[in-house]
């Protein structure tokens, strides 16, 4: 039995993953953006251990979330699932002066990875759109570029793969992988999304908790429990390190050396 923490488990694939893990006999701690969403998450996922509240768009709340996770003890796996989508028509600035999409999708998983006591496995939700992500890492805060919501989202999903692979390289004692769930009809995906919703949450569950040797690998990228080639730039160690540095500068959170 594994103990798993899942960000963004009040809805969509995070909630479905939590339900499936519990069905399989694992223990799950949920996360939601506020108290109301937390209550809804707990009633939608009976059997969850508890729910922790934090808005991932806030650096302070994300840091506090890591403290709360650590106060609960250790976890076998952390699934970095929460994200905001690609349809923001204009940049929404966070209390830290950053675009909401970058704060929630890139900076929050960085901060949580750096501050949560090392689990045995890390899982990062990316997207096929990561292949359109800007690998220059220029203007991550969108101060100079004209806003483009889909580009901003794609950039962050490339960052999520870079994070997963950076961790695989830096922490050989942890299994760290990324995946794309397919374009599926969640709140984010929208009602017309064509891929199979019932298959979308299974890869993160499998990577977090299965003893299948195919799931017990590190530095890999998956789609529907099968290896898939990520963007080749995601394998660039210098780019991975540059992203960690940029996240450190934006958040003030140091990345542990071991």
Ligand X SMILES: NC(=O)c1ccc[n+]([C@@H]2O[C@H](COP(=O)([O-])OP(=O)(O)OC[C@H]3O[C@@H](n4cnc5c(N)ncnc54)[C@H](OP(=O)(O)O)[C@@H]3O)[C@@H](O)[C@H]2O)c1
Phi, psi (5° rounding) for residue 3?
A: -110, 125
Is there a contact between 88 and 96 (Cβ–Cβ < 8 Å)?
A: no
Q: How far apart (Å, rounded) are the C-alpha atoms in residues 116 and 73?
A: 10
Q: State the nearest-atom distance from the C-beta of 81 to ligand X, in Å.
A: 5
Contact partners, residue 72, CB within 8 Å, separation at least 6:
29, 49, 50, 52
- In the complex with ligand X, which residue's Cβ is closer, 144 or 198? 198
Residue nearest to ligand X (CB): 12
Q: Is the dihedral of CA 188, 193, 198, 204 positive or negative?
A: negative
- In the complex with ligand X, which residue's Cβ is closer, 56 or 59? 56
Q: How far apart (Å, rounded) are the C-alpha atoms in residues 150 and 133?
A: 10
Contact residue for ligand X among 8, 133, 149, 230 (CB under 6 A): 8
Q: State the nearest-atom distance from the C-beta of 99 to ligand X, in Å.
A: 12
Decide if residue 12 touches ligand X (CB under 6 A): yes
Q: How far apart (Å, rounded) are the C-alpha atoms in residues 30 and 82?
A: 11
Q: How far apart (Å, rounded) are the C-alpha atoms in residues 16 and 63?
A: 25
Whether 120 is catalytic: no
Catalytic annotation, pick one of 86, 110, 124, 157: 157
Contact residue for ligand X among 113, 176, 186, 203 (CB under 6 A): 186
Catalytic annotation, pick one of 86, 110, 124, 153: 153
- Which one of the spans 9-17, 135-143, 205-213, 221-229 is the region binding ligand X (CB under 6 A)? 9-17
Helix (H) or strand (E) holding 252: none
Q: How far apart (Å, rounded) are the C-alpha atoms in residues 18 and 46?
A: 10
Whether 157 is catalytic: yes
Decide if residue 92 touches ligand X (CB under 6 A): no
* Contact pattern from residue 52 through residue 81 relative to ligand X, giving x for each residue in contact according to CB under 6 A and a dash for the rest: ---xxx-----------------------x
Q: How far apart (Å, rounded) are the C-alpha atoms in residues 52 and 122?
A: 18
Decide if residue 104 touches ligand X (CB under 6 A): yes
Taking alpha carbons only, the member of 74, 167, 169 closest to residue 123 is 167
- Which one of the spans 82-90, 207-215, 217-225, 250-258 is the region binding ligand X (CB under 6 A)? 82-90
Decide if residue 14 touches ligand X (CB under 6 A): yes
- In the complex with ligand X, which residue's Cβ is closer, 2 or 84? 84
Residues that bind ligand X (CB under 6 A): 8, 10-14, 33, 37, 55-57, 81-84, 104, 125, 127, 180-181, 183-184, 186-189, 193
Q: Which residues are annotated as catalytic?
A: 153, 157
């Amino acid at each position: 039995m594994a103990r798993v923490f899942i960000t963004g488990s009040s809805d969509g694939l995070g909630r479905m993953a939590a339900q499936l893990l519990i069905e399989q006999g694992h223990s799950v701690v949920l996360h939601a953006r506020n108290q109301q969403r937390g209550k809804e998450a707990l009633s939608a996922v009976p059997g969850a251990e508890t729910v922790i509240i934090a808005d991932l768009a806030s650096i302070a709340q994300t840091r506090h979330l890591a403290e709360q996770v650590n106060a609960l003890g250790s976890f076998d796996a952390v699934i970095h699932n929460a994200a905001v989508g690609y349809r923001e028509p204009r940049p929404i600035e966070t209390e830290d002066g950053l675009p909401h999409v970058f704060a929630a999708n890139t900076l929050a998983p960085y901060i949580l990875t750096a501050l949560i006591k090392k689990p045995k496995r890390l899982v990062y939700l990316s997207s096929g759109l990561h292949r359109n992500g800007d690998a220059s890492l220029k203007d991550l805060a969108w101060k100079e570029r004209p806003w483009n919501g889909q580009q901003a989202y794609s950039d962050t999903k490339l960052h999520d793969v870079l994070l997963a692979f950076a961790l695989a390289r830096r922490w050989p004692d942890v299994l760290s992988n990324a995946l794309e769930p397919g374009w599926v009809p969640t709140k984010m995906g929208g009602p017309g999304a064509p891929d199979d919703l019932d298959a979308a949450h299974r890869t993160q569950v499998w990577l977090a908790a299965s003893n299948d040797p195919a799931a017990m690998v590190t530095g890999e990228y998956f789609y529907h429990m099968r290896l898939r080639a990520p963007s080749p730039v995601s394998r660039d160690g210098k780019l991975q390190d540059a992203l960690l540095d940029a996240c450190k500068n934006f958040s003030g959170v140091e990345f542990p050396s071991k």
